[in-house]
Amino acid sequence: MLTAVNHLQGLATRLAAEGVEVGEGPGPIVPELKELYWGAGSFIVFALLMRFYLFPRLKQGMDARYAGIRADHEQADAERASARAEVADYEAQLAAVKAEAAAKVDAARQALEAERQEQVKALNAQLAERRAAAQAETDAAKAAVRDQIHAAVADVAGRAGELATGRRPDATVVARVVNEVMAR
Amino acid sequence: MLAEAFKFPEINAILRWQDIFTSFNKIALIAVAAAVIGIVVFLLAGNKDAKVAPKGVRNLAETTVEFIEDGIVMQTMGKSGLGWTPFLLSLFIFIYLCNVPGIIPLLQMPATARMAIPMFLALLVWVVYNGVGLKHQGVKYITNTIWPPGVPVALKPLVGVIEFISNIIVRPFSLTVRLFANMLAGHILLVTFALLTQSLITAETQQLLLKPMAILPFFMLVFLTAFEVLVAFLQAYIFTILTAVYIGGAAHPEH
């Protein structure tokens, strides 16, 4: 800043030394011709170059880049939409496959259930058959044992009657009496 | 003692500059430099690869172009005014680069603090917007300018005089004076506080408190220098936006 101050201070001295009096020349609000034509010339050259060369060149590059960016944005949008469609398609396929799988699982479950029911039914029938056979066998064994007991009791009763009376009672009568007594 | 030390130079001593060579002084140098800097910046910017994200000089140029397009043209003239971008861009850059030397050490003189450049630019703008008006509206431009639509017949003579003076005479005058006076006032303020600081520092006085008081005008000088940064931009912007408003008004009177 001191440089500037010194510069200003020295100005009047230098102007005087070079033969230009301080305060010489037109007033401060009067345009000086040399400043006018240098200023005008500079601006006109700058404006013409700007209009016909500098600005179009820069703007062309800007427009091309913006167009590229716009195209990239559009491409990105299209790819995003395409990806979204693919995802939706995949999700639809996934849902269809899931539904199909669920249907197959249901069908298999139903088939298995039917088979189980059939096998349970068959086993129950087999069990009932075996139970009936066993029952019949048991009943036969019981009857056999009962006949043996009847025979033994009848034999004992006949022997007892024979010992008591000295005569052997009729076997049929003894058997009937034994049956009646044992049936009570 | 202090009054003797503080001698403000004659106004021409801080405004008029000796010729560097015949008919070429510091103002001419600043004007030529402003144009050359503008041309070089845009040439360099144009040479950079436009496909990649702009940086450096290209970023500066593109930011300026977008500022003019979005901040001035679109706001005042709309899309139809985009063709005026190169002219308004040249105007803004040239005025700004002529203003800024007011705070650049060694140069320390805004070229627009002299009457020639603001006057030429204002007259050029006057010619341009009247030309645009005549081109778009034909002879009706003159009647539309003097008598805006809807003015009662009885008021036409009065309004005609007022509008004629306002649009044809005052506009270029106000454009010139606004730029010139603001930059001149800033320059004089900087000179004043710089000289006051120097006078207080170098004063031959017995009063010990006087020299430290130089800090006050020095702070003011620093503050005004920062303020002039804003003024340099603001004046270029105001001149350019008013130009856009005048051209837009001439091209589309309904607005």
pLDDT tens string B181-232: 999 999 999 999 999 998 888 887 777 777 888 899 999 999 999 999 999 9
Q: Which domain holds residue A130?
A: 31-183
Residues B155, B167 contacting (CB under 8 angstroms): no
CB contact under 8 Å between A8 and B195, yes or no, is yes
pTM to 2 decimal places? 0.73
Report the alpha-carbon distance of residue B240 to residue B64 in Å, rounded. 13
CB contact under 8 Å between B10 and A23, yes or no, is yes
A55 at the B interface (CB within 8 A)? yes
ipTM here? 0.90
Report the alpha-carbon distance of residue B94 to residue B117 in Å, rounded. 10
CB contact under 8 Å between B86 and A55, yes or no, is yes
Chain A residues in contact with B117 by the CB 8 A cut-off are 35-36, 39, 43
With a pLDDT cut of 90, the percent of chain B lying above it is 63
Q: What's chain B's length in residues?
A: 255
Provide the mean pLDDT of chain B: 90
Residue B235 is predicted with a pLDDT of: 97
Instruction: Provide the domain count of chain A.
Output: 1
Calculate the alpha carbon distances from B179 to A85, B13, B122 in Å. Answer: 61, 21, 10
Q: Which of residues 125-164 of B touch A (CB under 8 A)?
A: none
Does residue A18 sit within a domain? no
Q: Is the pLDDT of residue B47 over 60?
A: yes
DSSP B170-235: IHHHHHHHHHHHHHHHHHHHHHHHHHHHHHHHH---S-TTTTGGGHHHHHHHHHHHHHHHHHHHHH
SS3 content of chain A, % helix, strand, coil (to 5): 90, 0, 10
Does residue A96 sit within a domain? yes
Of A30, A46, A56, the CB nearest to B90: A46
Does residue A19 sit within a domain? no
Burial of A3 by CB count in 10 Å (0-12 exposed, 13-18 middle, 19+ buried)?
exposed
Q: Is the pLDDT of residue A150 over 70?
A: yes
B82 at the A interface (CB within 8 A)? no
Calculate the alpha carbon distances from A83 to A68, A79, A89, B25, B67 in Å. Answer: 22, 6, 10, 68, 38
Distance of CA B114 to the CA centre of its chain: 11
**How wide is the angle at C-alpha A61 spanned by C-alphas A58 and A64, nearest 5°?**
150
Residue with tokens 């801080």: B14
Interface with chain B: mutation pick from A3, A38, A53, A72, highest number of B CBs within 10 Å: A38
Report the alpha-carbon distance of residue A62 to residue A56 in Å, rounded. 10
Report the alpha-carbon distance of residue B228 to residue B240 in Å, rounded. 18
Interface size between A and B, measured as CB pairs under 8 A: 176
How near does any CA of chain B get to the CA of A26, in Å? 9
Report the alpha-carbon distance of residue A110 to residue A104 in Å, rounded. 10
Does residue A90 sit within a domain? yes
A125 at the B interface (CB within 8 A)? no
Of B10, B86, B119, the CB nearest to A31: B119
Residues B212, B42 contacting (CB under 8 angstroms): no
Residues B22, A33 contacting (CB under 8 angstroms): no
What average pLDDT does the segment A32-48 reach? Answer: 94
Report the alpha-carbon distance of residue B186 to residue B199 in Å, rounded. 20
Question: Which carries the bigger pLDDT value, residue B120 or residue A156?
Answer: B120
Does residue A55 sit within a domain? yes
Instruction: Fill in the DSSP letter of residue B109.
Output: -
